[in-house]
Amino acid sequence: MLNSYAVVGLYLLIALAFPFVTLLIVSLMRPSKPNPLKNSTYECGMETIGDTWVQFRAQYYLFALVFVIFDIEVVFLYPWAVAYGKLGLFALVEMVIFIGMLALALVYAWRKGILEWQ
């Protein structure tokens, strides 16, 4: 079993190295004449206004939060799905409860207006 992951590991290393090596090679070939104007942040050609890090609304965090909850649900869902063939009806009932609970979470988020994107 491990040697299949060995292949994946090897592939991973190469896949990781390939883009960066290419970048290095390319950076050698291309001209590099930095000047302040060129290096300024691109804002449709206008001077940058205000601080770079604009005030960040809780909105994004809440979305990530709901994503986390459902991500974990998925992690629980897959082994159940895999083992579902051999299990009896009780597996279905338990999963219904599990998903029901998280559907409740979704409904709560929905009612609380978190899913709307102002």
Partner 1 sequence: MIPLSWFLAVSAILFVIGFFGVLSRRNAIAILMGIELMLNAVNINVLAFWRYTQPENPAGLVWAIIVITVAAAEAAVGLALFIALYRLRTTVNIDEVDLLKG
Partner 2 sequence: MNPLDPRILGEWWNTFLRGLGLAEGWIVFINGLVVTLILLGFGLTSVIFLIWLERKFAGRIQDRLGPNRVGPYGLLQTVADALKLMTKEDITPDNAERVTYNLAPGLAVFAVLMLLVVIPFGPGLIGVDLNIGVLYIVAMGSIGIMAALMAGWASNNKYALLGGFRTVAQLLSYEIPMVLAMSVPVLFAGTMSMHGIVEKQARFQWFGLIMPAAFLLYIISALAENERTPFDLLEAESEIVAGYHIEYSGMKFAWFFLAFFLNTLILSAIAATLFLGGWQGPFVEQVPILGVFYFFIKTTAILLFFMWVRATFPRLRIDQMMALAWKVLVPMGLVLVLLAALVVKLPIPGLLQNLILFVTNIAILLFVLGAVGRHLRKEAERYKVRYQVSGIR
Partner 3 sequence: MVLQAIFILVALFTIGCALMVVLHRNLFISALFLIASFFGVAVIYVLLEAEFIAVAQILIYIGAIATLIVFAIMLSRGMMTGRTSPRNAQALWAGLGSVILGIALLYVVAYRVQWPVVQKDVPADAIARLGSALVGRYVIPFEVASVLLLAALIGAVMIAREKEV
Integer Rg of the chain from CA: 25
Question: Which position has the token pair 């990781």?
Answer: 16
Q: Name the residue nearer to partner 3 (CB basis): 21 or 94.
A: 94
Q: Is 22 a residue that touches partner 2 (CB under 8 A)?
A: yes
Show contacts with partner 3 in window 27-86 (CB under 8 A): 53, 56-58, 60-62, 64-69, 71-76, 78-84, 86
Question: Between 18 and 84, whose beta carbon lies closer to partner 3?
Answer: 84
> Per the structure block, which two tokens stand in for 31?
């001209």
Q: Which two tokens stand for residue 6?
A: 């060995």
CA dihedral over 56, 58, 61, 66, signed as positive or negative: negative
What gap in Å lies between CA 54 and CA 56, rounded to an integer? Answer: 6
Which one of 47, 89, 97, 111 is in contact with partner 2 (CB under 8 A)? 89
Does 96 bind partner 2 (CB under 8 A)? Our answer is: yes
Q: Where are the beta strands (DSSP E) in the chain?
A: none
Among 67, 76, 108, 70, CA closest to 94: 76
Binding site for partner 2 (CB under 8 A): 3-8, 10-12, 14-16, 18-20, 22-23, 26-27, 29-34, 36, 38-44, 48, 50, 52-54, 56, 60, 63-64, 66-67, 70-71, 74, 77-78, 81-86, 89, 92, 95-96, 99, 102-103, 106, 109-110, 115-118
